[in-house]
Structure formats: C-alpha cells, structure tokens
A and B are shown apart, each in its own frame.
Chain A
Amino acid sequence: MSDWQPTASLEMLKTRARLLSRLRAFFTEKNILEVQTPVLSQAGNTDPSIETFITQQHEDRKHHIQPSFLNTSPEFAMKRLLAAGYGSIYQVTPVFRQDEQGVRHNPEFTLLEWYRIDFDHHALMGEVNAFVRYLAEDLLTLERSQFYSYQDAMIKFANVDPFTANTESLKAATEQAGIEVIGLNESNSDSDRDAWLDLLMSQVVEKNLPKNCPVFIYDYPASQAALAKIRKGTPDVAERFELYINGIELANGFHELRNAGEQAERFHRQQLKRKELSQQGIPADHHLIAALKHGLPDCAGVAIGLERLLMVLTGAKHINEVLTFPFDRS
C-alpha cells in the first residue's frame, strides 16, 4: 500500500509556499493585518447547505457533554474583530465541512478571508481582481476580467431571467440545456426556486462562462443573500459576488450585513429550515449578534478557497494534486 505517501508533488508544495508568501506580501503592502481566530468554536454555522463537524468535551468529567464546532468559515470571529475597531484584516485558516469530498472538495480545506472597511462589493471585486492577477502573474496568463450581474449572466448563459421566471420556466431552461435532474420540487417557494437557480448556475452558467479570465458575478437574488446586505429596488438584490475562473468557483464576497436584528432573523430562519430538513440543530453565534449590536463598520468581505485557487493557477485537475494528504489519507 502506498497510502502513506503524499498526493501533492514537491513541485506543487513549492508553488503553494510561494503563493502564500506572495499573498502575504500583497496584504502587507496594503497595510491589512493578518489575524488568527479560533478553529474550534462554541457556536456553529446554521446555514442548511453547510454541515458542521461537531466534537465534544467533557465539562465535568462525568456526564455533561459540551458540544464544540469546527469552523466552516472564520467569518463570525473576524466580524467581531471588525466591530471591536481593529480595521481591515485577513486570515489564512483551515476550515471543515462535512460530506464535501470530490474532484474539487475535501472536508478540510484552506480559506483566505479578508475584510475591507468602507468598501462595498464593487470596490472589493476590484481588489480581488487585482489580487488574483498579481498571484497569477508567473503561473497563468489571464485575459481581461469580465463582470456580469447575476441576472445578465443567467440571461446570457442559461437563457432565462432569474428574477421573473417561475419554477416551471427554470425547469424548462434546465431541460433545454440537456440536464436531467432528480429530486427537485416544483413549487414556487423561494427555497425551491433557489434550488433550480443553483442547478442552472452550477450546471449550465459555470460551463458556459468565458475561459482564461476572471469572471465576476454580482447582485444575487435576495433569497440567496447569505450574510450580504440587501439593496432595495425592483427587485431587491443581495450585494454579494462570486468569482469564477475556467468555470471553477473560487471566491464568494459580500457587502456585509450590519443590522443585528436582521442577522438574528436570518439565523432563526436557517434554524427553522434545518429543523424542517431534519438536520442537526446548531446554536446561532450570539457573540456575532452582540458585535453587530455594538456596531459593525461599513465593510465588504470575501473568502477564497486556497486549494481551488492553486488548482486553477497550476491547471491541476483534482484537488488531491494540491493537498499533502487528502482526507482519505489523513
């Protein structure tokens, strides 16, 4: 058996190390502070589409068992630093997500996350673009970056208007693209529509995006806001963006929601959804709510999957090529 051996080549690990040092140079030059926040937390992620690893410690060495949660993202702790007035910050940290294993997934992976005070999502997209181009410099030649609103991208690449189409038309668009799907409901509820939109985005739009250049998609449906601010309009949109290169999702960013009441309400809705889906109950992070009540400065934040970025820059076909030991060998 050769399972003891690493799956990444020495050459790849050298590239990874160089990427990390260039990345740090980028942030140092902009005077953005590197921080480290806990990986193990007393609160988890209530998002129903993400499964937290839960561990435990024996509180009194007898019966009381205190669940602890491995971070799925450093977002909540970093926002508490922002609320404390520590200014723009970045972090490179391992995160953990259950049931995520595949060509582009490993249950443990590395996130680069950063926050910029007084930025909105457009300003941050500009910085992410500069960052990716800076890192790509001697590894991958990139053509001019493209920017599409979510609505324009759906219309252009999946032939359907995401804000006016009902579930039936979304279904028709997937069929037109030759996709046979099993298990999606056909009601017009937000969560069912969103599932069809996610299908179109991940199976149709991603494949048809221009290649060899960064592609930014921004202003998502309000129902897919996650932790982004919602901008009133017709229709309302979430000030959220994603970055794709060669059809691979690399980054997700927000003009951050600052309203504590709305954040608490979103947590609550997610918890209800988890219950409805018979998922594990997860306590919401009350520290984040308290920090938002105290006051989060106007800011935008983004998370980039570092292994994905390394895959794109080196042309690796499988995430195992950029990991020392994938979960199977960990």
Chain B
Amino acid sequence: MRLRFIPSALLAAAAAVSAAAAPARAQGNVSTQGFGYPPGQISAAAAALGGGPAETDGQSALNPASIAAWIRPGVYFEYAPEFRSVTANGQTDHTTTSRFPLVAGAITIGSRLTAGVSVSTLLDRTWETTRSGFDHFASDSVQFTENFKVSGAIDDVKPGFSVAVLRSLWIGMAADVYSGDNNLTIKRTSQDTTVQTFSQTSRLSYSGIGASGGIMWQPGSFLAIGVSGRLGGRLTAFRNDTVLTRATAPKRAGAGVTFTGLPGVVLAFRTDWEGWSSMNGLGQPGLAVTNTWDYGGGAEFRGPVALGEPVALRIGYRRRGLPFLVDSSKVTETSYSAGFGFLLSQGRSRLDFTLVRASRSGLPGVTEHAWTAEFGVMVRP
C-alpha cells in the first residue's frame, strides 16, 4: 500500500505549473494500467480463500458490518510484495513491487457497537519502464534511453462502525475518504554528448469521498452472510493547486457467504461488482475503464497443532477483471492461492501468510504472471 495521509489542502499549496496535458496510459505491464492495480482491500487470510470470506472478515476493508467480527479491540497490518514477470516480444521482465495494502484497527464500545478504521490501497500505481529509441533531429538521429517511473497510490481511508441490531444481524456504515498521490519521473538520456539529459517530475494528488454500508447476518451457527456496497462521491485529481479532472469514485456491491458446518473446515464464497467506469473522467480522454466482476472462493482446514494452537491451512481460487483496459482489451486476472495462519498469545494475535499465483491476460502477445506473498499480522491486546 502506498499510504498517503496528505490533505488535499496541503497538496494544493504548491505553485502552479502551466502545462499541456499529455497522456501516460501504459506502463510496460498489464496489471497497473490507468490509475493502477487494485489489490482488493482484503486481508491476507481472506485472500488465501480467494477472497471468499471478505464480506464477513473483520480485517478486510469491504463490509463495514464485518467490523463486528473483530470481537475485541485490535490492529491489523499487512505486507504484500509482488514478484511479477511480464513476457513480450520474446523478452521477460522480472520486477518486485513492495506493497502495504491494508492497515486496520477496531475497538468495541459496549456490547453492541464496534468502531473501526482501515486504510487500504484502492489503486496502486507503482511501476517503472526503461526503453530505448531514436530521437530524430533536424539533421540526424540520436539514440536515447528513457526511464519512466511512477510510484504512489489512491488509498481508501475508511472509518466506520458496526452495530448489532439483533443477536445475529449487524449493520455497518463507513465513510470512504480517498487520498493519495502519484509521483512521476521521466528521464531521457543519451550517449551523444550533444544531447542533454532531460528529466521532468510531476506529482498528482487525489482527493475524494464515498460512503459504504453493509449487513452481516448469521442465520445459524454454521452460516454467515455478508452484503455490502459503496457509493462514490466526487473524486478529484490535482497537480499542485490546480484541479485537473473530476469524476465519481467507483461504486461497488458485493455479497459473500461463509459456511462452517463441516468439522474443521470453513468454506467461503464471494462475488463483487465494482463500478470503476465512473472514474472515466478522472483520466485523459480516451482512458478506457470498465466495470468489473470478482468471483472467488476457497476453503480453510484445521491443520496440525503448533505452538499450542491448530494451524489453519487455506486454499482458494479467484477470478476478476481489472478496471483499466489495454488497447481496448479487458484484462482478466485469475489467481490460485494457498496459505496458513496460526494464533499466538492464547489467541490474542494471529499471523497469516498467503501465497497467490496470479495470471493476467488481455493483450495478445503479452503474458503476465505474479507471485504475491501476503503477510498479515493481527494483534489484540
């Protein structure tokens, strides 16, 4: 996660630079098109089950009602480096991107109310490309090497609460405050001494709001159902103090079910729709954004005991669309996941480790695969 807690007022404080807009659409890989890659806003444990239990998982940042699943006060932190390989034109790039996609915490207030806050990455725009070409001058051509680097993200800061309206029904509400920035650098160098190195930096900032709501219902001791949605408010892109574009933050709706009726086994499935196309106006004209569906599910098994507690073994499968198109082609991500988790400190803490193997397709001739190692640490004092 590229967490940025910079208020838009501060972001707007620097001097304006008049500039002619130019697009920066593609970035040398399939997944971080447009405003970036959506890590998903789900915890490492939920990711191991293909995102299946995300609607009922307290640490995931989707359903405010699931804040109640914290049960006790605690904090959660996640680290998720991605090892990506992109193959095109007979060549393969191997990259490593460090992400901190989710931080969350909650406290209980009385027996019915739980308040929580999460900071999660909505879209991670971190990539770098290096390529060579020729500059054609008036009388000759000179070879150049161009490095284009972007780092940053749009984050979703979500304070919310969950209240138990019945013994088995929780309702949650949360605000979505979008914040973040992208730092971009272009550097063009040449071996020709008559050509000077060109370097330019740019910083985009984002600000926006939204609101989420959801319910979590436990109709029986073996079943939990979560349904949630998000409404998008205004989302604005700035350069220094200049408003560049405005759009609507993406809506979403999702539902999931978690079944614990089998001894030592948890089954979870989820589907989610996200209305990314409302962000269309945030980019340059021609930026292709599409709404996406996300399906996933998995199972958790009670494994052998270690350190006095059983180890949870998890597997999952997930298939989803990514919001930004490549050359008018939709990008689909299919991932298989496996992981484990175990409790520490008499159940007050939990460590989760998930390994996700994702394949992303969309542009013919270009294949992208990634291993993502997700580390989740929850501590409840």
A is bound by B: no
B interface residues with partner A (beta carbon < 8 Å)? none
